[in-house]
Structure 1
Amino acid sequence: MLQAGQGESHTDAWFPVIPGWDVAGVVERVGPGVSEFAAGDEVIGDIRQEILHHGAYAELVSAPVETLARKPRGASRPEAAGLPLAGLTAYRAIVETLKVEPGETVLIHGAAGGVGAVAAQLALAGDTRVIGIASAGHHDFLRSLGVLPVAPSESIVGRVRDLAPDGVDAVLDCVGQGVLQATAGAGSSRMRACSIADGGPGITSVFARSDATILTRLAEMVDAGGLRVPITATYPLAQAAAAQTALKQHHPPGKIVLVV
């Protein structure tokens, strides 16, 4: 999105821009007054800045201590690198914005994507039912998470209603393109909705915020076996352009990660 200039209205850029927000790596050195980490610690973080300039596509990066958390011990480095942005976005949507409660039914558009898959697992951890909208080729993946899959189609409202006769209680849109309006008829009287991909009147937009406390909580869920970050491919840093091209194409569920 940012590469195509679509974020120009809310994010300034200072060229030359080094892309990338998610990191996983080893602390090389700490600054004055930093006691949370020491050299040699493995960490993860969402190191975005308000101005696009110094990003994560690099061998060495500097990061404010409040953007970092300890890497999940049970996760590989690529899995850990895929957690921060997707996890923080999903947490803000499911827990903070939609405030999903036990026993509710959640509908997620784009449930097999990076944010959607984490959001589905967060909702399921809260003892909810999750219906996931995704192409048929991703349905086995969604079932492996415990999600009830539905393919996008003209009869989508009826198919969702078959699974949730009383209507869904919360909807997360990870796709955009008007999907919230297209499935409005599947909602219950209690329905809340938000989007990470669309905006406009009547739509609650969700954006991730760097938060080490929440990131630590997500890492603990990974270590406890309650959350996994699927990785569909890794690319060496020198092939970052190829990775971005792959990201824009149809690909298996999971994150695409650069490896130094």
Structure 2
Amino acid sequence: MKSTKKMNVLTYILLIPIALFAFFPFYVMLKSAFEPLSQIVSGFHFFPGNGLYLENFKEVFASYPIARWFFNSVTIAVVAVLGNLIFCPLVAYALAKVDFRGRKLLFILVVATLIIPVQILVVPLYLMLAPLGLSNTFIAIILPDLVSPFGIFLLRQAFLGIPKELEEAAFIDGCGRIRSLFRIVLPNAIPTLFTIAVLKFMWVWGDFMWPSLMLTKEAMKTLPVGIASFQTTSSLVPWGMVISASVISVIPILLLFFFLQKYFVKGLTDGAVKG
């Protein structure tokens, strides 16, 4: 009992400095959002010198369509997440539960796509979608993110951890493959689905390269692309507005992780030892 308590104390002693170190950049960003530009560039200090300075936020909303960009980002991220929650389970179920020729090879190909840098795919995607007239449309941003190889991999591993006896009993009762997937398999993989939702939302929400290439109209920009447009010259960066807009952009990610954190770790570890 005493050794367990000592181990817990040592764990906290180790984890608290690591947590503070990880949180420190976010604290600096939050603090700087409530400071005037002169104070931001003057050097680091732990607390704002003149109280809460709200002009940065007022100037952001007055000078740029930040609410529109926020709505654009939410729309794209939510649709992309829904696409992953629909299509990834279908592919993962086939790879995990359906016995067909070439299943292992197909799974290897899916996993192999994870090592392809996204930068390599940008030009081919642009050459495919731009001639179709999809520039400055949400469709062009959403299409490449509707299915995630990592989501397929994660769900496939989770599905392998579900006892096959559950499905066999469902088949005896008259369930088909699709009904078994939605009635038996998916309810037992809820944490993994939430994990995919969080990871995909984070990825799409923070994506800059692809939206900056396809979205050039002011009203169509996402939040990261819009924030990048704050810098009007190579030497002038309105750090107050950039940081305050960054604080706004972080809020949905924090809320999503806060409400789904209990599923997040379990979803990452479900089926981790399955081959």
Query: Is the radius of gyration larger for structure 1 or structure 2?
Result: 2
Q: Does TM, scored on the shorter chain, surpass 0.5?
A: no
The structure richer in helix per residue is: 2
In the superposition, the TM-score normalised over structure 2's length comes to 0.20
**Relative CO higher for 1 or 2, CA cutoff 8 Å, sep ≥ 6?**
2
